[in-house]
Amino acid sequence: MIRQTLVPLLTALAFLPAPRLAAQAPADLAAERAAFTDWLIHSPVSPYAAVSAAPLDPAGVGLELGGRTARIVERNGAAWLEGAGAPRVLPRNRPALVGTTTVLVTGEPPRSRVMLFGAGRRAVAPAYYPYDPALVFSGTLVAPTAPGSERVLTPDGVEVEATVAGTVTVPLGGGTTLRVLRLPDPGSEESSLEIYFRDGTSGTGSYPAGRFVTLAPIAGGRYRLDFNRSRNPFCAYNAAYPCPAPWRGNTIAVPVAAGERYESHP
């Protein structure tokens, strides 16, 4: 099989604006980052507001409610809240307010997880490397030889069955082939082609365990791989989240100084 290479997008767009303008983050990326920062600081299910995460095992998860303890238990495939009035089913993949605590049940049985969120939070905007147009690539995805799947953690630490989508090769570090998995978006027709990678900045400017970057479809069956859109897993914001283990082989030997940075917070 001939392995196709993702080529720098600028090669194909040689007549685009001068370097000074090109070095500015495009408007859609700026809007995306602004919306994410707003969500991070204000959403009730922001990683900054997470208090704890626990597997929803048969013993259930306790929840303090004004001096008494309610429990969340899994029964018949659903998460039930008991001990807080009549038993009721909690939504899955959507937040629910129980007393003053926001509860988020994620994952699928028997690997469901309960996240609890409180009111306290930091108001720290994510930090990013300067936009680097040389780290935007386009190309095709090389399909796997046979369908397959792997159990992995999503950016927010939920265990899912991801399908093996293929590989891409980028001209970094002498040419690096990266594995691509399709992560499902529960309850929707949408999914995303994700690469979880480490590089020369991991632990020295970016998050040590790695960063996620999404392959975005463009015309003609091709994809854009923009490392400026690399983002941290949620465990980078709050240790309550399980942290995805680095994906086998997805290490770029040179620094990829683009996308989200990481500075540890006390």
Partner 1 sequence: MILPALLLALVSPPASPAGNWRAVLDLAGGELRFSLNVRPAGRVLRGSICNGRSCTPLSGIRVAGDTVVLEMADYAATITSVLRGDSLTGIYHNVGNRGPRTIPFRASRGRWRIEPASADLLGSWDATFVTDGRSSPRVLLFSNDSSGFIGAMMSNTGDYGRFWGRAEADSFRLAHFDGSFVYMLTGRLDGDTLRGIFHAGLRTQTAFTAVRTTGRPHLRSPTEMTSADTSAPFRFAFPGLDGRTVANTDLRFRGKVVLLDVFGTWCPTCHEASPMLVDLYRRYHGRGLEIVGLAYEVTGDTAVDAPLVRRFQVTHRVPYPLLLAGTSDVASAAATLPQLQGFTSFPTSIFLGRDGRVRLVYAGFLGAATGAQHDRQVAEFRATIERLLAEPPR
Q: Tell which one of 10, 22, 73, 216 touches partner 1 (CB under 8 A).
A: 216
Dihedral class, residue 93 (left if φ above 0, else alpha if ψ from -120 to 50, else beta) = left
Contact letters for partner 1, residues 128-157 (x by CB under 8 A): ---------------xx-xx------xxx-
- Residue closer to partner 1 (CB basis): 13 or 218: 218
**Binding flag, residue 58, partner 1 (CB under 8 A):** no
Residue 109, SS3?
coil
Q: How many residues bind partner 1 (CB under 8 A)?
A: 56
Distance of closest approach, residue 111 Cβ to partner 1, in angstroms: 13
222 neighbors 138 (Cβ within 8 angstroms): yes
Q: Where do the H-state alpha helices sit in the chain?
A: 9-12, 19-22, 27-42
For residues 111 and 180, what is the distance between their CA atoms, to the nearest angstrom? 23
Distance of closest approach, residue 253 Cβ to partner 1, in angstroms: 28
For residues 174 and 176, what is the distance between their CA atoms, to the nearest angstrom? 7
Dihedral class, residue 28 (left if φ above 0, else alpha if ψ from -120 to 50, else beta) = alpha
Residue 38, SS3?
helix
For residues 228 and 225, what is the distance between their CA atoms, to the nearest angstrom? 9
Distance of closest approach, residue 55 Cβ to partner 1, in angstroms: 17
**Binding flag, residue 185, partner 1 (CB under 8 A):** yes
Distance of closest approach, residue 115 Cβ to partner 1, in angstroms: 9
Q: Tell which one of 22, 191, 243, 246 touches partner 1 (CB under 8 A).
A: 191
Distance of closest approach, residue 14 Cβ to partner 1, in angstroms: 22
**Binding flag, residue 187, partner 1 (CB under 8 A):** yes
**10-29: burial string, b at 16+ Cβ within 10 Å, e else:** beeeeeeeeeeebeebeeee
- Residue closer to partner 1 (CB basis): 78 or 134: 78
**Binding flag, residue 182, partner 1 (CB under 8 A):** yes
Contact letters for partner 1, residues 67-106 (x by CB under 8 A): --------xxxx-xx------xxxxxxxxxxx-----x-x
Of 241, 228, 240, 232, the C-alpha closest to 263 is 232
Distance of closest approach, residue 123 Cβ to partner 1, in angstroms: 16
Dihedral class, residue 68 (left if φ above 0, else alpha if ψ from -120 to 50, else beta) = beta
Tell me whether strands 113-117 and 50-55 are parallel, antiparallel or unpaired: antiparallel
Interacting residue ranges for partner 1, rule: CB under 8 A: 28, 31-32, 35-36, 38-40, 43, 45, 75-78, 80-81, 88-98, 104, 106, 109, 143-144, 146-147, 154-156, 163-166, 182, 185, 187-193, 214, 216-219, 234
